[in-house]
Amino acid sequence: MSVESCRIDLWLWRARFAKTRSLAASMVEKGAIRLTHNGVQTRLDKPSRSVHPGDEVLFAQGGRLVAVRVVQTGERRGPPEEARALYEALD
């Protein structure tokens, strides 16, 4: 059984929360991303940290907090419809 996972910077880019992968990496390095994995919330500091389906990601974007649950890691950066399938919004 293989556990599906992906780098957080790659996932943020694939899910279209960042225009480039380097922008996604700088969001992580600034400490702007919080990840809840197995009920434990941590502030991410390295773009190489893994994200798994079921994890919750919290960050500020455009002056508001964005909270999403990772549904899948994705294969590529696709069109917006494909990107929205990678997560579900948490209210």
Domain span at residue 74 reads: 6-89
Q: Does 54 reside within a domain?
A: yes
Strand partners, 41: 36
Within a domain: residue 58?
yes
Average pLDDT over residues 14-43: 97
CATH code for the domain of 82: 3.10.290.10
Q: Among 22, 83, 23, 88, which Cα is nearest to 57's? A: 88
Q: What is the mean pLDDT of residues 24-31?
A: 97
Task: Answer whether residue 35 is part of any domain.
Answer: yes
Residue 1 pLDDT: 41
Evaluate whether residue 1 is within a structural domain: no
Number of domains in the chain: 1
Number of other residues whose CB lies within 10 A of the CB of residue 66: 14
Residues of 30-46 as b/e, b for ≥16 C-beta within 10 angstroms?
Answer: eeebbbbbeeeeeebee
